[in-house]
A = this chain, B = another copy of it.
Amino acid sequence: MAARRTLQATDELPKPYHHGALREAMLAAAERVLERDGMVGLTLRAAAREAGASHAAPKNHFGDLAGLLSELAAVGFDRFADRLGAAGERFVEPQARLNAIGRAYVEFAISDPGLFQLMFRSERLDSTRPALKAAMARAFGVLTGAVGAAYPEAQAAPAGAQVVRAWSMVHGYAMLLLDGRLDPVLGDAPACPQYMALLDAVLTLD
């Protein structure tokens, strides 16, 4: 059913005072700034500029800088969870699923480095935000479930040692990679294939 149209004529581009969907536009703009200029360049004012709004506009939707960064991190964790889940579903054997998820973990860090760093290495997030908490829980749930399936009867040990072990390994690998600290061992100008081959070697060393 078509919405009833207003009777008075409206200008083609009234340069709308109210953006209408500034929240989503701000998130998209912030991610663009992040991937273009890195964490250092991602400021509240730069994101507002990129979205074509005034620098005080974000306040209405995100409260403050920590709010904007946290909501962006939340969309990052949601995308992360999707990728991990999709990678795992391509296999049935539990150990193969776990390896695929580990690879997807590192591939995400390579494909979305800015987002990955925002999600994991920012001291400027507010982890109490519901959207962020939920998205994080979803992503880590995928990982935890896959480890649990691969190691059905956990050795005594403190609960979750297997999970922490697998998680630490891929997370540390991704972090060292993004910091460029793996480059010396890989020779000159390493790229994604070299990084993934080394990861495979590391994961299959058991």
Contacts and interface: CB of A to CB of B under 8 A. Distances in A.
Nearest to A160: B185
Summarize A's interface: helix, strand, loop or mixed: helix
Nearest to A125: B179
Interface in A163-198: 163-165, 167-173, 175-176, 179-182, 185-186, 197-198
A2 interface: no
A95 B159 CA distance: 25
A199 to B, nearest CB: 9
A36 interface: no
A105 to B, nearest CB: 11
Nearest to A117: B123
Given A40-B123, A40-B124, A123-B38, A205 B165 contact: yes
A161 B40 contact: no
B172 A168 contact: yes
A152 interface: no
A174 to B, nearest CB: 8
B127 A198 contact: no
Contacts of A206: 206
A181 B133 CA distance: 11
Contact of A176 (B167, B201, B202): B167
A161 B38 contact: no
A198 B124 CA distance: 27
Q: Which 3 A-B pairs have the closest CB atoms?
A: A172-B172, A168-B172, A171-B172
9 contacts: A158-B197, A160-B185, A161-B201, A163-B185, A164-B202, A165-B202, A165-B205, A167-B176, A170-B172
